[in-house]
A = this chain, B = another copy of it.
Amino acid sequence: MERGDKREAVVDAMLEVVAEYGFHGAPMSLVAERANVGAGTIYRYFEDKDAVIASCYQSIEERCHAAIRERYPEGRPVRERFLHVATVVARHFREAPRDLRFLQQFHDSPYGADVRREKMFGQGDKDLVRELFEEGRTQQILKDLPLPVLFALSFGPLVHICRDHAVGFLELDDRLVEQTVEACWDALKR
């Protein structure tokens, strides 16, 4: 095992265990076990449990960030850019239900208190998407609503259907993603 692998293994294990059992049912001992690491080892890489959890969040955020950036249609119309972001986010969390489950547990728990200031998808993306929304609003393509409302109209439903997919309520294929994203656009556009 190479340097840094253990750190990553711990983060992954925590992510997995929290997604599965919640912050309850995520004792450090279990995390250590799943990471194939001694219990004490965790504390060489992290200050305490909270730090591991915070790292899980960062890790998720980065993955989402990366997905959005990839093939982002810079300079293209607002509508096209929105469709990209929304589609990518939905697909991303459809493929990574663990990330989604962790995120939801994290977000409104006291653990997430520090990060809650930052909107849904972290700093970098937020700026990107915020830019997108502000531009759309200025050009009178989008409804004249506060940014948080625009965020809510876009990502509220997407996260929702990804969860429904993860739980088995819904078979979320690409066609359905597309349709839902279009519906979100209907909510946003003038």
Which A residues are closer than 8 A to B by beta carbons?
21-25, 101, 104-105, 107-111, 116, 143, 145-146, 148-149, 151-153, 155-161, 163-164, 167, 169-170, 176, 179-180, 183-184, 186-189
Query: Given B24, B116, B183, which contacts A153 in the complex, CB threshold below 8 Å?
Result: B183
Query: Given B21, B110, B153, B159, which contacts A187 in the complex, CB threshold below 8 Å?
Result: B153
Whether A176 contacts B146 by the Cβ 8 Å rule is yes
Complex Cα gap A169–B150 (Å): 13
Complex Cα gap A148–B171 (Å): 10
Complex Cα gap A147–B145 (Å): 27
With A180-B153, A186-B186 already in contact, the answer to whether A24 and B22 are too (CB < 8 A) is no
Query: Given B21, B152, B169, which contacts A180 in the complex, CB threshold below 8 Å?
Result: B152
Whether B176 contacts A183 by the Cβ 8 Å rule is no
Who on chain B is nearest to A151 by CB? B160
With A148-B169, A152-B161, A170-B148 already in contact, the answer to whether A183 and B187 are too (CB < 8 A) is yes
Whether A25 contacts B151 by the Cβ 8 Å rule is no
Who on chain B is nearest to A102 by CB? B108
With A164-B152, A187-B153 already in contact, the answer to whether A22 and B111 are too (CB < 8 A) is yes
